[in-house]
Amino acid sequence: MPTTTTHAILAATAAKAFGEQDKTLRLWCVTIALSLLPDADTLGFLLGVPYGDSLGHRGFFHSPSFSLVLGIFCATAFFSHHRPLSRTWWKYVAFFFVVGASHGVLDAFTDGGFGVALLAPFSDARYFSPWRPIPVAPIGFGAAFSGWGGRVIGWEIVHLWVPAFAALAGFLIARRRLRRAHPQRSR
Task: Tell me the domain boundaries of the chain.
Answer: 4-186
- Which pLDDT score, from 0 to 100, does residue 162 have? 96
Q: 102-117, pLDDT tens digit by residue?
A: 999 999 999 998 999 9
Residue type, 25: L
Given a cut of 90, whether residue 146 has pLDDT beyond it is no
Q: Are 176 and 186 in contact (CB under 8 A)?
A: no
Residue 27: pLDDT band with limits 50, 70, 90:
very high
How far CA 151 is from CA of 32, 46, 148, 157, 167, in Å, comes to 23, 26, 5, 10, 24
Q: In the chain, what percentage of residues exceed pLDDT 90?
A: 72
- Which pLDDT score, from 0 to 100, does residue 6 have? 93
Sequence-distant (6+) residues with CB within 8 A of 136 are 1, 110, 111, 112, 113, 152
Q: Are 54 and 60 in contact (CB under 8 A)?
A: yes
Report d(CA 181, CA 25) in Å as an integer.
Answer: 30
User: What letter would DSSP give residue 86?
Assistant: S
Given a cut of 70, whether residue 4 has pLDDT beyond it is yes
Report d(CA 39, CA 62) in Å as an integer.
Answer: 8
Q: 46-99, pLDDT tens digit by residue?
A: 999 999 999 999 999 999 999 999 999 999 999 988 899 999 999 999 999 999
- Which pLDDT score, from 0 to 100, does residue 22 have? 63
- Which pLDDT score, from 0 to 100, does residue 1 have? 61
